[in-house]
Amino acid sequence: MFGIETQTLLGLSVVGALVTTVGSLIAAILKDVVLARSFERWKTRQSLASVYRKYRDPIVFAAIELHRRYSEISQSYPPSYLSSSVLKSRPRSLTRPVDTDAYYLKYKLLSTAYRLCALLGWIELYRQDLTFLDSGSRGSNQDFDTCIRAIQAHLADGQLNDASDWESWHDVLIFREEQRAIGEAMIRASGPSRSVMGYGAFCELFDSDAGPSGRWLVTVSNFLLDPASERDFRRVRLQLLAADLVDLVDVLDHARVTTDMEQFRVKTRRALPGR
């Protein structure tokens, strides 16, 4: 009888030891694997948030500047400065009243091209760093992606013009891969950091048309230059893009959307339903 009790106690002791050992192993696994993975996910979220903060303001600023110029152009189409003759001119300084001065007209042309290229540059930098924008909110990511896709479409899609006589309209496209190439051409590295080139460097490159970067700037010129006063679908594209840019600012920093921007967006969407 005593032997049986001893065996039972020994068996229970073995079982208890096994349970303790298994529990210790499970705890170690939870600590070393589950908690480690949780920490890695936290670090990833922190990194994404850091990149989001790094690029949000430049993209918002570029979008606002481009919206202002495109809304101005779309309402007074076609502006005199979007001209091949202005592009070929080489004025040195202001010499006449601003609105007719050759230097001012060249500035308006180059700054218009720069604002589009700069936005594409910041978006491409973002894409290369993260592949997609991640603000830590899945809804925000989807909204941002929707805005970018709309901008890409209104630059690239030829079927937007649904007029019955669309073949008689003038139109120019910048395809999606070309948009990325333009963005890549705008990126400059300084040591470990990368940014979008400044306006001065852009003007020198734009005037020279040198190398592969210059080739993509010619694509931008073709999109902007020599608009027709009638049946030029690029005016519609600029209106749609200007409204898209308000959407983009709204997603990234709602407080930066002004009353004028909101009114332009509403007016454009009412005038161009279904686009």
List pLDDT tens digits, range 18-28: 656 666 666 66
Neighbours of 256 (CB within 10 A): 15
- Average pLDDT for the chain: 83
Per-residue pLDDT averaged across 269-274, rounded?
A: 79
Per-residue pLDDT averaged across 112-122, rounded?
A: 96
Most confident of 45-49, 74-78, 270-274: 74-78
Nearest Cα residue to 117 out of 171, 51, 193, 181? 181
Peptide bond between residue 78 and the one before it cis (omega within 30 degrees of 0): yes
CA distances from 93 to 14, 80, 105, 207 (A): 94, 18, 11, 16
Residues sharing a CB contact under 8 Å with residue 109, sequence separation 6 or more, in sequence order:
81, 82, 83, 86, 87, 224
**pLDDT exceeds cutoff 50 at 46:** no
Tens digits of residue pLDDT in 175-196 = 999 999 999 999 998 888 889 9
pLDDT band for position 15 (cuts 50, 70, 90): low
Q: For residue 6, give both structure tokens.
A: 């001893």
Per-residue pLDDT averaged across 123-146, rounded?
A: 72
What pLDDT, on a 0 to 100 scale, did the predictor assign at position 142? 82
Nearest Cα residue to 187 out of 145, 241, 129, 135? 129
What pLDDT, on a 0 to 100 scale, did the predictor assign at position 204? 86
pLDDT over 70, % of the chain: 74
Partners of residue 188 on adjacent β-strands: 195
What pLDDT, on a 0 to 100 scale, did the predictor assign at position 214? 73
Supply φ then ψ for residue 232, to 5 degrees: -115, 105
What pLDDT, on a 0 to 100 scale, did the predictor assign at position 115? 97
Q: Is 90 helix (H, G, I), strand (E, B) or coil?
A: coil
What pLDDT, on a 0 to 100 scale, did the predictor assign at position 92? 87
Most confident of 29-33, 76-80, 207-211, 240-244: 240-244
What pLDDT, on a 0 to 100 scale, did the predictor assign at position 6? 57
pLDDT over 90, % of the chain: 55
Q: pTM of the full predicted structure?
A: 0.79
What pLDDT, on a 0 to 100 scale, did the predictor assign at position 189? 86
Tokens 């202001």 locate to 94
**pLDDT exceeds cutoff 80 at 168:** yes
Tokens 């709204």 locate to 250
CA distances from 2 to 6, 10, 232 (A): 6, 12, 104
What pLDDT, on a 0 to 100 scale, did the predictor assign at position 133? 47
